[in-house]
Amino acid sequence: MKKPSVVRPKILLLAACLLIYPLVFSDAFYRDIGVTFLLAAISASAWNIVGGYAGQVSVGHSMFYGIGAYAPLLFYQLWGWPPMFGIPIGIVCSLLLAIVIGAPTLRLTGHYFSMATIAVAELIRIFTGTWDLVGAAIGLQGPAVARGWWDLTFRGELPYYYIFLGVLAVLLYVTYAIERRRFGYYLGAIKAGERAARSLGVPVRKTKIEALMLSATFTSIAGSLYSIKTGFIDPESGFGILISVQMVIIAALGGAGTLFGPLVGALILIPLQTATNTWFGGSGSGLTYILYGGIIVLIARFEPGGLFELWERIAPARWKSGHAA
């Protein structure tokens, strides 16, 4: 829906910045921030498909993230498979879960849907914490030393940075393609009003399930990337509610339902989070909750449309994305 001539230079500039970032900031600390930023941007962009574009605010997306995170390490521990073999298995499991969970919960609207997704994610987290096959409360570990490149176990952050960047690029392209197709228009119509959308022939339930499946796929991939990189997963780091909340906040902060909103949100939140962790160390572990709570209040009170909408309102016309004539 955007003028390619206006948007393309901005995209190229963004791509160039992301490509050269780890080369300019070669310190491990800054590269780690870069990797964390990309992972957060992938997760929030994946959530954005169903939460932002379709307006179905899931606060239980950690269910897909956790499945994606557990799958690579589970099959490594069970049969010694390279962790990346678990990525497609995680996707398939997440897709099945999206269908099973989505069919009943997507009948609900507003807060009821959000609460239902929290309940499901929490149930899975509690169940995983007691299931010995997946390491119960202790969790699972990946290969300590790489047996080959296929284990995707690298010493430095650089390879992870570019792998994550590649995944983010694919996800953004998919989202961009959605925006320009009937599916994207239908998502927007559903978000604005299901009753009116139905009256125009929009297959609401089918569209919502498809959006959830697509969102689950990329959220699962984000989880897999996380566990492969860290080489460890436990119920809290896979299925914890903070993971879901972070996706929602990042997308909402930048602008839910916009292509680059989650990137903007991640660009602000991740350095802020890293700074608070650095300044306050272990004693400030509860600060993340305070930070998230504060951001929710600020967004809800002052800018429900996120920073992207604020930009659209205050920026000079020639800088805005505009609409095709």
Residue selected from 88, 104, 156, 203 as contacting other proteins according to rule CB under 8 A: 203
Q: Near other proteins by CB under 8 A, which window of 44-52, 186-194, 271-279, 296-304? A: 186-194
Task: Choose which of 129, 188, 271, 284 interacts with other proteins (CB under 8 A).
Answer: 188
Task: State which residue, 35 or 197, has the beta carbon closest to other proteins.
Answer: 197
Query: Closer CB to other proteins, residue 54 or residue 269?
Result: 54
**What does the alpha-carbon distance between residue 210 and residue 215 come to, in Å, rounded to a whole number?**
9
Task: Output 5 or 199, the one with its CB closest to other proteins.
Answer: 199
Identify the residue among 46, 171, 189, 269 touching other proteins (CB under 8 A).
189
Task: Tell me: does residue 294 bind other proteins (CB under 8 A).
Answer: no
Find the length of the chain.
325
* Interface pick for other proteins out of 108, 115, 158, 204 (rule CB under 8 A): 204
By the rule CB under 8 A, 174 interacts with other proteins:
no
186 binds other proteins (CB under 8 A): yes
Burial 265-275 (b: 16+ CB within 10 A, else e): bbbebbeebbe
Q: Which stretch binds other proteins (CB under 8 A): 141-149, 191-199, 224-232, 286-294?
A: 191-199
Residue with tokens 């505009």: 322
DSSP-assigned beta bridge partners for residue 140: 233
275: contact with other proteins by CB under 8 A:
no
Which one among 23, 180, 290, 294 touches other proteins, defined by CB under 8 A?
A: 180
Taking CB under 8 A as the rule, does residue 197 contact other proteins?
Answer: yes
- Stretch of residues binding other proteins (CB under 8 A), selected from 40-48, 108-116, 163-171, 181-189: 181-189
Q: Does 199 bind other proteins (CB under 8 A)?
A: yes
Query: Residue 222's closest CA among 79, 48, 54, 30?
Result: 48
Q: How far is the CB of 43 from other proteins (least distance, A)?
A: 24
Segment near other proteins (CB under 8 A), from 25-33, 83-91, 159-167, 195-203?
A: 195-203
182 binds other proteins (CB under 8 A): yes
CA 143 – CA 229 distance, rounded (Å): 10
Residue 233 phi/psi, 5° resolution?
-150, 140
Q: Find the shortest distance in angstroms from Cβ 184 to other proteins.
A: 9
Number of residues that bind other proteins (CB under 8 A): 23
* Minimum separation from the CB atom of position 183 to other proteins (A): 9
Binding site for other proteins (CB under 8 A): 1, 180-182, 185-186, 188-189, 191-193, 195-204, 323, 325
